[in-house]
Chain A
Amino acid sequence: MGRYGRNMNMLSKEENEKLKDFRVCVLGCGGLGGYAIEMLGRLGIGYITAVDKDVFEETNLNRQILSDMNSLGKSKALMAVERMKLVNPEVFVNAIVDEFNFENGKDIIKGHDIVIDALDNIEGKLTLQDICEELGIPFVHGAIAGWYGQVTTVFPGDKTLKFLYKKEMRKGIEKELGNPSFTPALVASIQVSEALKVLIGRGEVLRRKVLFINTFEQEYEIIVL
């Protein structure tokens, strides 16, 4: 219990105990995903699936928490396993070194209680929504671009991403703005807080609401759908 002592009493003892029984799938182990895995693991989520086909490269070092000088060239998903062995060995990390797509998506996601959308492309995010819809599994969407970010929690039937991305929209403003160190950490933090609330069934989530984050002018806007 010592490890989770500071989670008391924002979580009840029973809630804390139950976290080890949950399975959370994190799609993408880069900017958002790295931080999400770190926070889910420290919370004590018992089973985390970490999905990413890529290896770390130098351009990841400005923001991706799982990357460092020693991990360059190594699998992002496998580094999540290594990291969690150091941080919280009570957590099992199932690494999947593969691209998430329509063909394998169902097999990857099924059996999880919730999914964290840490994907770096719109097409993948929309595929995730379709698959979660089919499987009846909620997911927490997060996206970043430069100073900006957005978060929403999507339950089966909501199809909120159809509102966020118009048809044939394939790239966002991150392609021109890049991503710094702080927006992934901020957006991932909010995503994990959302996932936790869904899992414990307590608190208010951003369901059919989209939080828009603007750290350049420190404006936080919630759109109610």
Chain B
Amino acid sequence: MIKVKLFATFREGRQKEVNFDYFEGITGRFIINKLNIKEKDVAIFLVNGLDGKLDDPLSDGDVISLFPPVGGG
């Protein structure tokens, strides 16, 4: 299973956390597509707390975190 933790506005219309069944070759890109989140809206993509790449294959048990950009002052 892959646990996806959503932050800030990514929670709107979704839950704080979403679980995905693991399959070989599942990627962050597959997950954000399923969640209807656009790549350009993702500022930070973490895999197990570390900076990750959307196209890298994930491992069973990985935890993903998604943050939108915050830029106001």
Q: Which residues of A contact B (CB under 8 A)?
A: 28, 30-33, 117-122, 125, 142-150, 163-166, 168-169, 171-174, 176-177, 179, 184, 212, 214, 217, 221, 223-225
A169-B43, A225-B51 known; A164+B8 contact, CB < 8 A: no
Report the minimum CB–CB distance from B63 to chain A (whole Å): 13
- The answer to whether residues A148 and B70 also contact, given A164-B43, A169-B40, A223-B44 and a CB cut-off of 8 A, is yes
**Other-chain residue from A30, A121, A184, A221 in contact with B71 (beta carbon distance below 8 A):** A121
Q: How far is the CB of B51 from chain A (nearest CB, A)?
A: 6
**Which residue of the partner chain A has the closest CB to B10?**
A173
Chain A residues in 8 Å Cβ range of B13: none
Q: Are B73 and A142 in contact (CB under 8 A)?
A: yes
* B22 close to A (CB within 8 Å): no
Cβ-defined partner of A144 (8 Å) among B9, B40, B67, B72: B72
Counted as pairs of residues, one from A and one from B, with CB atoms less than 8 Å apart, the total is 84
**Additional 17 contacts, C-beta under 8 A, given A173-B8, A223-B46:** A118-B73, A119-B73, A125-B71, A143-B72, A144-B72, A148-B9, A164-B43, A164-B44, A166-B42, A166-B69, A171-B71, A172-B68, A173-B69, A176-B9, A212-B67, A214-B8, A217-B16
Cβ–Cβ contact B8 & A144, under 8 A: no
Are B49 and A224 in contact, with the CB atoms below 8 A? yes
Q: What's the minimum C-beta distance from A156 to chain B, rounded to whole angstroms?
A: 20
Least Cβ–Cβ distance between B14 and chain A, in angstroms: 14
| A144 to B7 Cα, complex, angstroms | 14
CB distance A179 to B43 under 8 Å? no
Q: Looking at chain B, what size class is its interface with the partner chain?
A: 10 to 19
Q: Which residue of A lies closest to B73 (CB)?
A: A120
Q: Are A172 and B46 within 8 A (Cβ)?
A: no
**Dominant secondary structure of chain A at its interface with chain B:** mixed
Contact among A174, A223, A224 for B72, CB-based, below 8 A: A174
- A146 CA to B9 CA in the complex, in Å? 10
Contact B72 A163 (CB under 8 A): no
A selection of 24 A-B contacts at a CB cut-off of 8 Å is: A31-B72, A120-B71, A122-B71, A144-B70, A144-B72, A144-B73, A145-B70, A145-B72, A148-B8, A148-B9, A163-B51, A164-B44, A165-B71, A173-B68, A174-B72, A177-B9, A179-B72, A212-B8, A214-B8, A217-B16, A221-B7, A223-B46, A223-B49, A225-B51
Q: Which residues of B contact A28 (CB under 8 A)?
A: 73
